[in-house]
Amino acid sequence: MPENDGAPFVEVCSADDLWIGEMECFDVGDREVLVANIDGELHAYDGVCPHQSVPLVEGELNGKVLTCRAHQWSFDACSGKSINPSGERLQKFALRVVDGKVWIAAQTTDA
């Protein structure tokens, strides 16, 4: 099992389960984590919008832009930085692919 500065990783799925342009949420410890496949690269973020805690998986992933369904807040799905409004960001989780399995750290990488 991989570790992230001592924090354990949790296996959530096979890398083949998420096709390019898809996103899915997984329970990691007591958090819901969104995993998005952007051009073959996987990214993991807190699964709820920082605005009003709406599940981001219910939103839309269009290219590299993730948009919340509730109030149309949008984020760069590669960096987690907000596009509209500016100045916000999604909490990022470390993610590793080992032997075709996707592992996510049990805590965010943000300080």
Q: What's the gap between Cα 87 and its chain centre?
A: 18
Report the mean per-residue pLDDT for the chain: 92
User: Domain with 18 in it: what CATH number?
Assistant: 2.102.10.10
pLDDT reported for residue 87: 94
Strands 23-28 and 31-38 turn out to be antiparallel
pLDDT in tens, 7-60: 689 999 999 999 999 999 999 988 999 999 999 999 999 999 999 999 999 999
110 within domain boundaries = no
Range of the domain at 50: 3-105
CB 47 within 8 A of CB 40: no
Closest C-alpha among 110, 108, 102 to residue 14: 102
* pTM for the whole structure: 0.89
**Into how many domains does the chain fold?**
1
111 within domain boundaries = no
pLDDT reported for residue 89: 95
CB 102 within 8 A of CB 95: yes
